Amino acid sequence: MNANKSKKIVVLATGGTIAGLAADAAKPQNYTAGQVGVADLLQGLAAEGLELQTEQVAQIDSKDMSFSVWQSLLARLAHWLAQDDVQGVVITHGTDTLEETAYFLQTVLRSSKPVAMTCAMLPANAPNSDGPGNLKDALAWVQVNSSCGVAVVCAGQVHAAHAVQKSHSHQRNPFTSQAGVVHPAALRVPSVAHVLACKDWPRVELVFNHVGADGRVVRALMTGDAPQGWVVAGTGNGTLHHDLEAALLDAQKQGAQVLRASRCAQGGVQSRDADVLPHAGGLTAVQSRVALLLHLIAQSA
Ligand code: SIN
């Protein structure tokens, strides 16, 4: 730890509940995300021997996360990680799409320095807000951690970027990690430069299998300006209602790439002899969508 003391940690802020404010601090559930600037979030958290550099990359509720914010974040992250005097980076982010951003950054960047994403479930002005503690833990994790890659530091736990999943909508510790998540070998990963240069992101839609899934939503969208990709969150081991499967096979014939995931929270999809459509292994449906987006970008190179 002493060897790292003279190095700098960069904090890239994107908004979220950690930067949220409630109009009435006694009713913290009524708040607006992305209100407090990064300098204020760090008030009182600077530790001895720790040099901090901050940037406000965005100030949004992460439900509104966009490809352009992803590109800005990736550009700033790549920039800072390439500096010799930077020990690592902390990213503040809303919890709602954090797992998508974490998967995106980890897959594209393959960072050799620690990157800790952190967040909060209570706004900054709530009594006992969890934000300052999580941010402090994230800074400490980057300071002492020499292992590489993106991790999520929240509620006293550390989750690997490829494993993390928001599995509770309101408790202080909303994340769990699932085992067996590996980026599918068949899906290509574009370079950082290629992602940053991408102006026209592919469209990948997400559809669920469910009782009465007749595939009409797929057929309706496959006319005109059709998506280039579909991820289907199948039932159980990625199984599909035969009408939905028929619609997706037709979409595939029209040139769309289709990937099956599972709507189950854990386990993903395991191969079976009778498989018709490709699957994304242990990836969740939202991770599969990120993986397919990246694959389509890589294919367009
Ligand atoms: C958000 O994702 O920006 C809002 C919710 C949260 O941070 O917990």
- Of residues 4 and 53, the one with the higher pLDDT is 53
pLDDT top residue among 269 and 111: 269
pLDDT score, position 233:
98
Q: Whole-prediction pTM value?
A: 0.96
The span from the CA of 299 to the CA of 256, in Å, is 13
- Tokens 């839609």 belong to 205
In this prediction, residue 4 carries a pLDDT of: 45
**CATH number, domain 192-300:** 3.40.50.40
What is the distance between the alpha carbons of residues 99 and 215, in angstroms, rounded to a whole number? 28
Tell me the pLDDT tens digit for each residue of 223-280: 989 999 999 999 999 999 999 999 999 999 999 999 999 999 999 999 999 999 999 9
pLDDT tens-digit map of 17-49: 999 999 999 999 999 999 999 999 999 887 777
Beta carbon of 17 within 6 Å of any ligand 1 atom: yes
32 is catalytic: no
pLDDT at 1: 40
Say if CB 51 and CB 88 are below 8 A apart: no
Q: What is the pLDDT of residue 148?
A: 79
Asked whether the predicted pLDDT for residue 211 surpasses 60, the reply is: yes
The number of the ligand 1 atom at minimal distance from the alpha carbon of 64 is 3
> Catalytic pick from 17, 92, 97, 284?
17
For 105, left (φ over 0), alpha (ψ -120 to 50), or beta? alpha
CA diameter of the chain: 62
Q: How far does residue 95's CA lie from ligand 1's centre (Å)? A: 4
CA–CA separation, 293 and 190 (whole Å)? 10
Beta strands in the chain (DSSP E): 8-15, 21-22, 31-32, 51-60, 86-92, 114-118, 149-154, 157-160, 164-166, 175-177, 204-208, 229-234, 257-262
Q: In this predicted model, what pLDDT tens digit does every residue of 64-105 receive, in sequence order?
A: 999 999 999 999 999 999 999 999 999 999 999 999 999 999
d(CA 176, CA 147): 21
Q: Is residue 52 within 8 Å of 8, Cβ to Cβ?
A: yes
Please name which of 186, 217, 180, 208 lies closest in space to residue 294, comparing C-alpha atoms: 186
H helix and E strand count, the chain: 8, 13
pLDDT of res. 301: 83
Atom in ligand 1 nearest the alpha carbon of residue 15: 3
- pLDDT band at residue 192, thresholds of 50, 70 and 90? very high
d(CA 119, CA 15): 9
What does the alpha-carbon distance between residue 279 and residue 283 come to, in Å, rounded to a whole number? 9
Distance CA 16, CA 119 (A): 7
Domain ranges of the chain: 5-177, 192-300
Please tell me the distance from the alpha carbon of residue 176 to that of residue 181, in angstroms, as a whole number: 13
Measured from the Cβ of residue 25, the count of other Cβ atoms closer than 10 Å reads 14
Chain position carrying tokens 């439900």: 63
Residue with tokens 């913290």: 28
Per DSSP, which regions of 239-280 are E strands? 257-262
Q: Which CATH architecture has domain 5-177?
A: 3-Layer(aba) Sandwich (3.40)
> Beta-strand (E) ranges in 61-184?
86-92, 114-118, 149-154, 157-160, 164-166, 175-177
pLDDT band at 121; cut points 50, 70, 90: very high
What is the per-residue pLDDT for 6? Answer: 58
How does pLDDT run across 153-186, given as a tens digit for each residue?
999 999 999 999 999 999 999 999 999 899 999 9
Given the CA of residue 174, which atom of ligand 1 is nearest to it?
A: 8
Is 96 close to ligand 1, i.e. is its CB under 6 Å away? Answer: yes
Do 5-177 and 192-300 fold alike per CATH?
yes
Ligand 1 proximity of 16 Cβ (cutoff 6 Å): yes
Query: Looking at residue 2, what is its pLDDT?
Result: 44
Residue 55 token pair: 């940037």
The pLDDT value recorded for residue 49 is 78
5 pLDDT above the threshold of 70: no
Using the mean position of ligand 1's atoms as its centre, give its distance from the Cα of residue 33 in Å. Answer: 7
For residues 107 and 46, which has the higher predicted lDDT (pLDDT)? 107
